[in-house]
Amino acid sequence: MAIWKQDIDLTRINAWGANTMLETLGIQIVEIGEDWLRGTMPVDRRTHQPYGLLHGGASVALAETLGSMAAMLTLDPAEEMTVGLDINANHIRGARSGLVTGTARALHLGRSTQVWEIRIENESGQLVCISRITMAVIPATKAAG
């Protein structure tokens, strides 16, 4: 059963990243299932750390992007929105090039909080990073404040 309360249009969702860090890092939402959202990020000069490996912060940026977007899509934006409370990440394997793919899946969709797990894998399907983000669900009226 689909968990989304908004129109799932990849063009519209990817447009949210215009003129943001998502555009700078090359993050793209590529696929949405009934209860998961998937995105990619290139491993290149934009996302490397000084040793030529994927920067852990870039992995966290991908994880937070996927978890936050997924959380937002489960709500009616006229009524509610989500904001991040906590994120953690374990960096399992390095990556030097190619594309990493993250998949966000809900672990908990509550009235006031959501918890999402994001698995980031390399092109061979090997786990690069595992992350968990906790989102607070707040009234949409608080967005301006």
Concerning whether 64 is annotated as a catalytic residue, the answer is yes
Name the residue among 82, 80, 63 with its Cα closest to residue 71: 82
The token pair at 67 is 């978890």
Active-site residue, selected from the candidate residues 34, 64, 80, 117: 64
Q: Which residues contact 144 (CB under 8 A, 6 or more apart)?
A: none
Asked if residue 4 lies in contact with residue 73, where contact means CB atoms within 8 angstroms, the answer is: yes
State the maximum Cα–Cα separation within the chain, in Å, rounded to a whole number.
45
Using only C-alpha atoms, the chain has a radius of gyration, in whole angstroms, of 15
Distance CA 55, CA 44 (A): 10
d(CA 88, CA 81): 21
Q: Which residue has the tokens 């063009």?
A: 11
> Which residues are known to be catalytic?
64
